[in-house]
Each structure stands twice: as C-alpha cells, then as structure tokens.
Amino acid sequence: MIETIEKIETQIPSLGPAKIDSPILKKRPNVDRHFVEEDERVLVNINEPYIGRMVKEGTPLLSFELAGPRQKIYFDPVKLKCGIVTCGGLCPGINDVIRALVMELYHVYGVRNIYGFKYGLQGFIPKYGHELVELVPEKVASIHELGGTILGTSRGHQDVGEIVDTLDRLNIGLLFMIGGDGTLRAAAKIADEIMKRRLKCSVIAIPKTIDNDIFLVEKTFGFATAVEKATESIRAAHTEAVAAFNGIGLVKLMGRCSGFIAAFATLGLREVNFCLIPEVDFDLEGPQGLFEALRQRLERRRHAVIVVAEGAGQKYFANQDLGVDPSGNPRLGDIGRFLAEEIKKYFASIKMPITLKYIDPSYIIRSLPANADDHIYCGFLAQNAVHAGMAGKTAMLVSRWHNTYVHIPIKAAVQKRKTINPNSGLWFSVLETTGQPSLKNG
C-alpha cells in the first residue's frame, strides 16, 4: 500500500517550448499513436477518504505529469548529442536500460550521436582519462544478456562544475543518468548548475537501486530479479536446515535502510521462520528475544530459517566507528556474520547442539542479468525517459506510480527514503507467513 502524500512539488522544469514535430508522426503515419498532452495527469493519492476530504475543502489534488511521447519535441534529433552514464552499485537490468535508451534514440527519434561516459561521474572529469564510448545499435544489441554495466561504474562525489564544463565542451544536449539515491542527488545539482549557466541541456534520471527504496517510485528495476534469486538462496538454506538435527539456515540479503527484498523474498517462498528488517527493531536476548523464539522453534520443528536484511540490527554496532563509504553512506556492521556467531554462542551456552549454515548471496544477485519481468520494465523506463528528454523536460526521473508511468521532479524523490511501514499490510503478511513474534522485550 502506498502512503498518502500531502505535500510535494510535482511541476517538471522544461528547457523551453517544444516546437518540432515528433519523428514518430512520420515513421508510423498509418498507426493511430496516442501522444500525451501536457495536461494529462495521474493522481498522487487515489484513496477515496483523501480525495473526498480534498474535494470538500476545495484543495487541489496532487498529481504527477503523465509520461509518454509528445507530438511536439524540443530537440532537433539531427543536431542532438546525448550522453549516458551509470553510477553506484551494480544491479540487474542496467544494460537493459542502456540498450533501450540507445535503440529508442536511434531508431525512433533518429538521433545518431549517442555517447557513454565510463566509470560513473569519473567519466566527466578529465584527470581520470576515461574515454568516451560511442553507442550505436550494433554495440548494444546483445548487452541485455549480460549482468553489470558495459559503461562501468564508480561511487563517490565529483566536482559538479567540472561535470557541467564537460557537458558544455562536448555540446551534450541530453544526459541520461542511471543510478540510486546518491546519483539522483548529483543529478539534481548538475541540473541546477546547468540552469544557472543557462545551458540548453536536459538531465533525465532512471532510478536504480536493488533495495527498492527510492521515494515516489513504486518499484525500481532489478528488484524483481533480486527477489527471484534471493528465494533460491532461501530454498538452499531451508534444504540445509531440514537435513540436520536442529538445523538453522541463515540468509543475509540486501537492504541498507529498507527491508523490501527480505520481506518479498520471504513471501515468495514462505519457508522463512524469522524475517529481520531495518524498519523493525528486535532483541537477541530476553524472554521475547530472537534467541528464545529460535530455541522454541527448534524444540517444536527441529529446523529454522532466518532471513536478515543487511541494515537490520545495527544497534549492535553502535559502539563501533565504521566510517563511511565513498558515497558518504555510513558503513554497516555485518549483521549476518554477527548473528551467526551470536547464535552459536547462545546455543553452546545452553548446551543445545545446532548446525548453522550461513549464506550471503548479495554480490551474486546484484551482478546477474535481469529476469523477464525486469527486461520488460527496463524497456518501458528507458523509452519514457527518451520521450521526456526529447520533449525538453529536465531535472526529473521516470517512475511507475499506480501502475502508470509518470514524471517525478528529482528534488521531490530525494526528500526521503522509501521504507516498509511496520503497520502496513505488507509487514503483517510477513508476520502471518513466518509466524514470528515481536522479538522485542516489553
């Protein structure tokens, strides 16, 4: 369930009036193609009590701009130069997005100058010496079969002024940035600097995070693949657990601040007995803690499966100075290995024999090619990103909202992080599936 959102900015900036007929008109003259009008919108909130209250109070309803092709575009495809960059961690589907961007630009709009910047934002900075990659259909034709990104990636901040200098020097008119929260924040700063200099360059973001934690985005690409592959690890953990007397299978999954992968993978296989996520606190010791609940489970069934998101239980590392990663995010304590060791210590202390198998598939999952669902989703995201960019939209990202593709201002999407509401139907479904108690004393 999507939370009710009261106040956000939904207006999408534009480089100027779109005056050029879309090439789509000429390419498919016999096809009755729907072109999106600027006044076509999608409600942000669709629950009836909210709409009724807004109507009664006479307050305008929040709405997002509908994505899709415009009949008039801003850029002349013959003269336009486009750039594509991928940033942050790996995620299934990045190559799908690159491929779909190139194919849409080249075949639908007739853009012939498309370039890839290597190794994330480093690709814009001359001192790194990373070459530009010319992207044509032949070069990207089969990259969707590969994991990772053919452009490479990196983390960390780069000078926004230097980035815009490079865009200006190369005469890039349309930049597509594929990345997560940090990339979106960088994209917002780049767009601001471009506007400050009054350059005619559009910045369009395609949100990427395997954790599915970007605000105002129903689902990020790669998430479906991650959940599917995570269930394979859970199945292996369950097999190991039932094969041993008092067997415990412990699986650590991705999710720094949001436990969506852990929750959906738990629901996807339904063989998990304890699901631990960052949004819900838990205790290890005490009459209501995890250890006691796990002991009771083993006495009843002689096996148990635990799924833990990487950001869960970070209170147990509060006294450790773990520093920050190159993107500025606090480094996390390894909750998976910590739990494995603490569980072993506890059962040794009560002289109860166990066999524990610990599985961490994180780097395997994030480096895989996308599954069929993500293949399709990446294509839609990229196509709508191209439509938006060609129409002169800027400082925005493409999102799916209420199962419809929309335009979201980047600054609205980075206001906060999307997390699981512990009082939501999603989390209650996890609790009902696992049967786990609160795991919190008192």
Please state, in angstroms and rounded to a whole number, the distance separating the CA atoms of residues 125 and 311. 33
Longest Cα–Cα distance in the chain: 78
211 is catalytic: yes
Q: Exposed, middle or buried, 14 (CB in 10 Å: 0-12/13-18/19+)?
A: middle
CB 187 within 8 A of CB 385: no
Local structure of 399: helix, strand or coil: strand
Measure the CA angle with vertex 425, ends 424 and 430; round to 5°.
105
Terminal alpha carbon distance of the chain = 29
Contacts with 393 (C-beta within 8 Å, 6 or more apart), sequence order: 12, 13, 14, 202, 204, 407
- Looking at this protein, which amino acid is placed at residue 222? G
H or E element, residue 249: strand 247-253
What is the dihedral angle through the alpha carbons of 17, 21, 23, 25, rounded to the nearest 10 degrees?
130
Contacts with 186 (C-beta within 8 Å, 6 or more apart), sequence order: 87, 121, 157, 158, 160, 177, 179
Please state, in angstroms and rounded to a whole number, the distance separating the CA atoms of residues 107 and 167. 24
Q: Where are the beta strands (DSSP E) in 67-201?
A: 72-73, 81-86, 113-117, 133-134, 174-179
The one catalytic residue among 211, 213, 283, 374: 211
Handedness of CA 291, 296, 297, 299 (dihedral sign): positive
Structure tokens belonging to residue 77: 């495809």
**Nearest alpha-carbon partner for 247 in 351, 359, 355, 357:** 355
In SS3 terms, 199-214 reads as: CCCEEEEEEECCCCCE
Contacts with 152 (C-beta within 8 Å, 6 or more apart), sequence order: 86, 118, 119, 120
Give the other-Cβ count within 10 Å of 22's Cβ.
Answer: 21
CB 14 within 8 A of CB 393: yes
Catalytic residues: 211
